[in-house]
Amino acid sequence: MPPMPTASWMLATPRAVLYAEQRRPLPLAAEPRPGQFARAARTAEEALRHAPAGCAVVGALPFDERTAAILALARPRCRPRPPAGRHAPGPAAVDLRGDPGYLEAVGAAIDACRARTVQKVVLARSLLIPGPTPDDAPALLDRLLRQQPDAYVFCVDVGNLRLLIGASPELLLSRTGNRLLLNPLAGSARRHADPAEDAAAARALLGSPKDRCEHGIVVTELGRQLDPLCTELHIPARPSLKATGQLWHLSTTIRARLRHPAPSALALADLLHPTPAVCGAPREGARRLIEALESGPRGYYTGLVGWMDRHGDGQWVIALRCGELSPQGLLLHAGAGILAASDPEAELAETDVKLSTLLGVLALR
């Protein structure tokens, strides 16, 4: 199969690859401010009412409203996803041992949880890898598509010679008519090459009180937000397991039937984003801690990448296992959910594994 064409927006599901080679930016507010996500959803809905058949809104939302959303009208094209490769991701090409600043931040977050300032906060760390540039995007995307066959692989031009690129395991939502599907993930454990050891890690995660609590916070909050909008809401009582090449995750598949008139996919994304899986709970208290403890703004990391059509149907995934390619290199991000019972060294180790998704493809350069 020929390589992916150069596109300013691409999102691969486990079955197909959607891409948009030409986009017409939507007129969003020049200065990001509170409420921009809701305004962006209304702007997208209005633009689609007047758009030719076959058009959709594609783009990316940032983690918070201090960074501008990127949305555009486009006519996405679809092609089959390339087959999975035979080679596992390579080893990390960078020494990840230790990050005193992150350990200190996690300690402060644990203190806040124990003081009941927040119940949970998700803290991220960043790592700049010099060398890769946007010119490397096609090769890196091809490797991600083949090495992460069940992931949502994406690439978005976010301006200023930067490309957001990644392979996320997490679907925020998919809306088709009045039917809604969500797949929140929270709680993780490292995978192992030995099958017996790997199976033991999966069982331990499924039985971990800390991880079950972390996952439950996410699912409970999503259910609370969705309940007024739904005539039916099915949330399994217990999580299941979802595997990536590097990690086991606790996973819940939520299915719902929306009341009429059903909110659009982007309006629903505005309501739910950011979830406790990437921010924390309560949301505003977690946001304040993130701003105080992280080294800089997240930008589009833990934001959303997706699309919506003129019927309001669409799909939005959480931008995880990702980084920004620029002429300066690849800026990677990874985070972990912090609770009162967290261990700083264990949370640091979890972010190391998450960074390995992109570090693995770099090792094959």
Give me the pLDDT at residue 89, please: 44
- Apex 252 CA angle, 248 and 256, nearest 5: 155
pLDDT attached to residue 85: 78
- C-alpha distances in angstroms, 202 versus 128, 216, 238? 31, 17, 15
Return the pLDDT at 6.
55
Q: Active-site residue numbers?
A: 120, 170
Q: b/e string for 204-219 if b means 16 or more Cβ within 10 A? A: ebbebebbbbbbbbbb
The number of C-alpha atoms within 13 Å of 200 and in the hemisphere containing its C-beta is 6
pLDDT by position in tens, the chain (length 365): 444 445 789 999 999 999 998 789 999 877 788 899 999 999 999 999 999 999 999 999 999 998 999 999 999 999 999 888 754 444 444 556 678 999 999 999 999 999 999 999 999 999 999 999 999 999 999 999 999 999 999 999 999 999 999 999 999 999 999 999 999 999 999 999 999 999 999 999 999 999 999 999 999 999 999 999 999 999 999 999 999 999 999 999 999 999 999 999 999 999 999 999 999 999 999 999 999 999 899 999 999 999 999 999 999 999 999 999 999 999 999 999 999 999 999 999 999 999 999 998 887 44
pTM, two decimal places: 0.95
Structural domains in the chain? 9-362 (3.60.120.10)
